[in-house]
Amino acid sequence: MNKEEMKRTLKKFVKNPSAMIGIGLLLFFVVIAIIAPYIAPPVIPNDADLEKIDNLLNDYKEENKDMILYYFQSYYDTVYGFVEMDYESVKELGQAVEKYKDKEITKDDLIAVIQPLSEYYIIDYSYYQKLTDVDKLDGFLDVINQYKEGTVSEEEFEKELKPFAENGFVTYKYFKEFDKKPEKYIKRIESEVSKKDDLEKSILNSITDEVNSYDQRMILAGKYKEKMENLKVSSDFLNDAKSFYKEVHKTYINSINFDPYLMPNVNMTTQPQPPSEDHPFGVSNSKDIYYGVIWGTRTGFKIGLVVVSIATVIGLFIGSVSAYFGGWIDEIMMRITDIFMSIPFMLSAMVLTTILGTGLDKVMIAMVVFGWMGTARLIRGNILQAKNEQYVIAAKALGVADWKIIIKHILPNTIFPVVVQASMRIGSMVITAASLSFLGVGAPQGYADWGSILTYARDWMLGGGDNPFQFWYTIVYPGTAMVLFVLAWNLVGDALRDIFDPKLRM
Amino acid sequence: MSDKEPILKVKNLKTYFKTEDGIVKAVNGIDFDLCPGETLAIVGESGSGKSVTSLSIMRLLDTNGYIPEGEIIYKGKNVTKMSDSEMRSVRGNEIAMIFQEPMTALNPVFTIGEQITEAITLHMKMNEEDAKTRAVDLLRKVGIPEPEKRVDQYPHELSGGMRQRAMIAMALSCNPSILIADEPTTALDVTIQAQILELMKDLQKEFGMAIIFITHDLGVVAEMSDRAIVMYGGETVEQGDIVNIYKNPRHPYTWGLMNSIPRIDIDTERLWAIPGVVPSPLNFPKGCKFSNRCFLASDKCKTDHPGLETIENDHFSRCWHIDKLVEEVKKVRAGDK
Ligand SMILES: Nc1ncnc2c1ncn2[C@@H]1O[C@H](COP(=O)(O)OP(=O)(O)OP(=O)(O)O)[C@@H](O)[C@H]1O
Ligand SMILES: [Mg+2]
């Protein structure tokens, strides 16, 4: 496109009111999605000590300095205190493991080191358990032999087998199904038991890993301590304390896996609460609707863009391969497409999410798997049509190479309808996701998603008693957001069609 | 014209299509030579195999089409045996083609300029800018007003006649030695037709290319061409010098075609129409393919297939009743009155 034409296109676009409304709405949603953390700040759970530090820093008074340092220390004690305390004994354990590997000490010596540590919960009890049980496997071999000779009954053998199975030394299935195929499982059990040394090695390795992780934590603890010391003598205490707090807070947030998309509970009742100052859109199922609607914008974009772009790429690939190669490849691919199309989407999505488990990503996978067929058909039809256009033959008659004909002459005439269709589908994907949520196979419980909020309204939709509109806010706010979102994408799709359609270029 | 060495020789060309109903023999034995600067017309009703002949020369047949027999020799090389890349360097560069429908033969998403430039840069070592200048020159040459403006316009912004001119400009962009024009004026109205024909004649004088002119309109043939091939059912039914064919047609089909157009120079009261329609390619009569529509047809015509007979030098006809034609025609004329 040259400049002149760009101007013309732009002018046409600006003059088209529905295109402008679409773009405006879409921009609005984009802005909302971007500034969501500011207009609906997530309530991040905080450590008690950190919270106190935060409060004191916000309203800083010279005399509170010691208090602040005290809370920093207190936080250190809860998070790193035990690391420091246990470090020596854990180190000892590490050395003992090394010595045992080098056969400098006996197994009993090693177990003597591990035992107290596991009893004080410094290292996981299962290490001790497993390490002692490994040796019992020798005894178990005897039991197997006795069983083979027939001196031990099947019930007795199974009783012996059970603890090994429970500890994971022997595949649990062998225990459960032992009576069905004893001979087969005896062989397998024998072979597993014979790997005893490997087993022990892997247990020892896990212990070493555990010990090494203490080194890491000690380093962190050291750094923390150092910074605290610096802070004590800092000339610009307030600022240093603030930046230190930020840093600590960040590691704290990371360590608790906080997810802002999970809507927090704001009260204890499931009955919706009407809009109030704190909750401008009201409360539904203990969740703040305003928070959900704002963060739901992000979810909407996420679902729409990801699902549609992946589904479109798949559809483009399948459709263009079909159309280009034709023949039996086309036949097979289109029949597969037919099969996918003939399965009702809701049903298949539900089945798939039951197999995969719920969760937003699972829902999106289901939507991609059953969402590419439209694109495939569209692009195939377009390419088949374009293939026989006279300008394609004319280009061939000029000596243009095949690949160039596909890229320059066929694709531009076929891809734009796909782009237009895709942009319109982005909106409708959100509705699909919402219906899945409504059916309970969508976003996980409490996830900020318009569909989920609407789901909460299910029990209250008819209002209470004599007032059918009593709980209107449970539907109106998320519903409006959804409708506008779909509308925005549709209008943008229309506008794109106007721009892309060469026949409308004037 | 026969004093020159021909650049294109088509010998016993046969082009068949595999279809579900059987093999369609769309072209079944065509022979002709084409000399530089000469214009050869291929005339015939719809479905007679004219386009298939030209597409065979360009090797642009649909995937179900094949050439079981015959040779197409361009400058001493057999086109049917060329590799794909050799063929691509012939297309557009040596043999160019313009199509019947100027509406659809240009790609709607690119400007006229972009499409002509593509053609130029494809075969000539030229940068984009020079190519564009050349495109503007070509557009001027084919008589498009304000070529500087038109070059940046899209096909739909041009009228049918202008589009055909643009197509011609595109076809001529690499100075081809043969231009195949497949019914280039059928889709245009009469005044524009005349202009385009005039333009093609002028350009032929200037560029010196040979033209294969495909049409079902014998009227334009007389103006345009030196020789003509009249095709029916995939075969040559009459072939020869245009003056001979025009003044002295020796095949009832040619005669029918000729009298189905209004002419001032011959005094007829009403137009003659060839009875019936071209049968489907799988249903031609056994003997002479034209026998079921021919007013001269005898029993022999229905069973025996006539060969191409020489009437005089360079004038051939495929008919059992060549001699009877003149006589019968007089009778028919008399009967009309
Ligand atoms: N791809 C194809 N498959 C089968 N038959 C074909 C194919 N292409 C052409 N034919 C047949 O070949 C015959 C000749 O077609 P052709 O296009 O050469 O006619 P034409 O003389 O150019 O007619 P028109 O004046 O309508 O352009 C027709 O009967 C047509 O049905
Ligand atoms: Mg044709």
Look at residue A324 in the predicted model and tell me its pLDDT.
Answer: 78
Measured from the CB, is residue B24 less than 6 Å from ligand 1?
Answer: yes
pLDDT above 90 (res B218): no
CB contact under 8 A, B118 and A400: yes
Nearest-neighbour CA in chain B from A20: distance (Å)? 25
Paired sense of beta strands B227-232 and B39-43, if any: parallel
Strand order in the sheet with B39-43: B95-98, B178-182, B210-215, B39-43, B227-232, B235-241, B315-317, B309-312
* Three-class secondary structure assignment of A122-153: CCCHHHHHHHHHHHHHHHHHHHHHHHHHCCCC
Least confident of A117-131, A367-381, B125-139: A117-131
Average pLDDT over residues B315-336: 80
Percent composition of chain B: helix, strand, coil (DSSP 3-state, to 5): 40, 25, 40
Ligand index nearest the alpha carbon of residue B284:
1
Per-residue confidence (pLDDT) for residue A151, from 0 to 100: 83
- Nearest atom, ligand 1, residue B50 CA: 21
Please give the Cα distance from A73 to A230 (Å, whole number): 13
CA distance linking residue B286 with residue B297, whole number of Å: 13
- Cβ of residue B101 closer than 8 Å to a chain A Cβ: yes
What is the C-alpha to C-alpha distance for residues B248 and B258, in angstroms, rounded to an integer? Answer: 11
The model carries a pTM of: 0.65
Q: Which residue of chain A comes nearest to B123, CA vs CA?
A: A399
**How far is the centre of ligand 1, averaged over its atoms, from the C-alpha of A246 (Å)?**
79
Least confident of A121-125, A371-375, B173-177: A121-125
Instruction: Find out whether B79 and B32 touch, Cβ atoms under 8 Å.
Output: no
8 A C-beta contact, residue A245 and residue A54: yes
What is the reported pLDDT for A194?
A: 78
Taking CA atoms, A268 is separated from A59, A108, A287, A445, in Å, by: 32, 55, 10, 16
- How far apart CA B328 and CA B321 sit, in angstroms, is 10
Report the residue from B60, B88, B154 with minimal CB separation from A505: B154
Q: What is the CATH number of domain A283-504?
A: 1.10.3720.10
For residue A222, the Cα-to-chain-centroid distance in whole angstroms is 33
From A127-136, A331-340, B54-63, the region with the lowest mean pLDDT: A127-136
Q: In what order do the strands lie in the sheet with B8-19?
A: B22-34, B8-19, B65-74, B77-78
Cα separation of the two ends of chain A: 12
Q: Are A458 and A475 in contact (CB under 8 A)?
A: no
Give me the residue label for tokens 């930020």.
Answer: A246
Burial of A211 (0-12, 13-18, 19+ CB in 10 A): buried
**Backbone φ and ψ of B158, nearest 5°:** -110, 150
Question: Which neighbouring-strand residues pair with A467?
Answer: A464
pLDDT-based confidence at A32, cuts 50/70/90? very high
Ligand 1 atom closest to Cα of residue B19:
4
Q: Residue A393 in contact with residue A403, Cβ under 8 Å?
A: no
Mean pLDDT of chain A: 84
**Which stretch of DSSP H or E encloses residue B67?**
strand B65-74
DSSP letter (8 states) at residue B238: E
Q: How far apart are CA A471 and CA A489, in angstroms?
A: 29
Tell whether the model's pLDDT for residue B102 goes beyond 60. yes
Dump pLDDT digits (tens) for B147-171.
999 999 988 889 988 998 999 999 9
pLDDT of residue B133: 93
Chain B nearest C-alpha distance from A390 (Å): 5
The answer on pLDDT for A506 being more than 50 is: no
Each residue's pLDDT tens digit, A256-282: 778 888 888 888 888 888 898 888 898
Tokens standing for residue B216:
């079902």
The alpha carbon of B187 and the centre of ligand 2 are apart by a number of angstroms equal to: 12
Conformation bin of residue B59: beta by default, left when phi > 0, alpha when psi is -120 to 50: left
- Distance set, CA B200 to CA A288, B54, B119, B174, B184 (Å): 78, 18, 19, 16, 10
Domain boundaries, chain A: 46-257, 283-504
Pairing of strands B210-215, B77-78: unpaired
Structural contact between residues A495 and A13, judged by C-beta atoms closer than 8 angstroms: yes
- Distance between CA atoms of A126 and B175, rounded to whole angstroms? 87
Q: Is B50 in the pocket of ligand 1 (CB under 6 A)?
A: yes
pLDDT band at B96 (very low <50, low <70, confident <90, very high): very high
For ligand 2, the distance from its centroid to the CA atom of residue B195, given in whole angstroms, is: 21
The tokens for A214 are 């203490």
Tokens encoding A137: 């496997």
Q: How far are the Cα atoms of B11, B225, B289, B321 from residue B245, in angstroms, in the given order?
A: 21, 11, 20, 16
- Out of A240-249, B52-61, B250-259, the most confident range is B52-61
- The DSSP secondary-structure symbol of B297 reads -
CB within 8 Å: A397 and B60: yes
Rg (alpha carbons) of chain A, rounded to whole number: 33
pLDDT single digits (tens) A131-186: 887 777 777 778 888 888 878 887 888 887 887 777 777 777 777 777 777 777 77
pLDDT at residue number B3:
58
Residue A330 has pLDDT above 70, yes or no: yes
3-state secondary structure at position B316? strand
Q: What is the pLDDT of residue A306?
A: 95
Whether A296 has a pLDDT exceeding 90, the answer reads yes
What kind and span of H or E run contains B13? strand B8-19
| B271 half-sphere exposure, CB direction, 13 A CA radius | 10
Over range A195-216, report the average pLDDT: 85
| Res. B49 pLDDT band, cuts 50 70 90 | very high
CB-ligand 1 contact for B161 (6 Å cutoff): no
- B39 sits in which H/E element: strand B39-43
* B184 and B212 Cβ atoms separated by less than 8 Å: no
Counting beta carbons within 10 angstroms of the beta carbon of residue B131, is it exposed (0 to 12), middle (13 to 18) or buried (19 or more)?
buried
Q: How far apart are CA B211 and CA B182, in angstroms?
A: 10
pLDDT at B51 over 50: yes
Share of chain A above pLDDT 70, in %: 97
Buried b (16+ CB within 10 A) or exposed e, A469-494: eebbbbbebbbebbeebbbbbbbbbb
Contact call for residues A299 and A443 (beta carbons, < 8 A): yes
Q: Which pLDDT value is given to residue B1? A: 46
- CA dist B47 and B43 (Å) reads 11
| Backbone torsions φ then ψ of B96, nearest 5 degrees | -115, 165
A235 pLDDT higher than 50: yes
Identify whether the C-beta of residue B169 lies closer than 8 Å to the C-beta of residue B150.
Answer: no
Angle at A389 between CA A383 and CA A393, to 5 degrees: 110
Report the candidate in B42, B2, B30, B111 with the shortest Cα–Cα distance to residue B257.
B42
CA of B266, closest CA in chain A: separation in Å?
39
Look-up: residue for tokens 């890349």? Answer: B85
Backbone angles phi, psi at A360, to 5 degrees: -60, -40
Mean pLDDT of chain B: 88
Calculate how close chain A gets to B129, using CA atoms only, in Å.
15
pLDDT tens, residue by residue, B109-138: 889 999 999 989 988 888 989 999 999 999
Per-residue pLDDT at A505 exceeds 80: no
Q: A422-432 pLDDT, tens per residue?
A: 998 998 888 88
Residue of A nearest to B57 (CA): A397
Contact A399 B105 (CB under 8 A): no
Determine which helix (DSSP H) or strand (DSSP E) holds A83, and give its type and residue range.
Answer: helix A82-101
| In contact, B98 and B180? CB cutoff 8 Å | yes
More confident residue, B188 or B150: B150
The model's pLDDT over A53-93, given as tens digits with 9 standing for 90+, comes to: 888 888 888 888 888 888 888 888 888 888 888 888 888 88
Taking Cα atoms as reference points, which of A75, A77, A82, A76 lies closest to residue A49? Answer: A75
A320 Cα to the center of ligand 2, angstroms: 29
Rounded mean pLDDT, B192-204: 88
* Cβ-nearest to A391 among B106, B119, B122: B106
- Evaluated on CA atoms B148, B154, B158, B163, the torsion sign reads positive
Percentage of residues of chain B with pLDDT beyond 70:
94
The reply to whether ligand 1 has any atom less than 6 angstroms from the CB of B233 is no
Between these two residues, B237 and A167, which has the higher pLDDT value?
A: B237
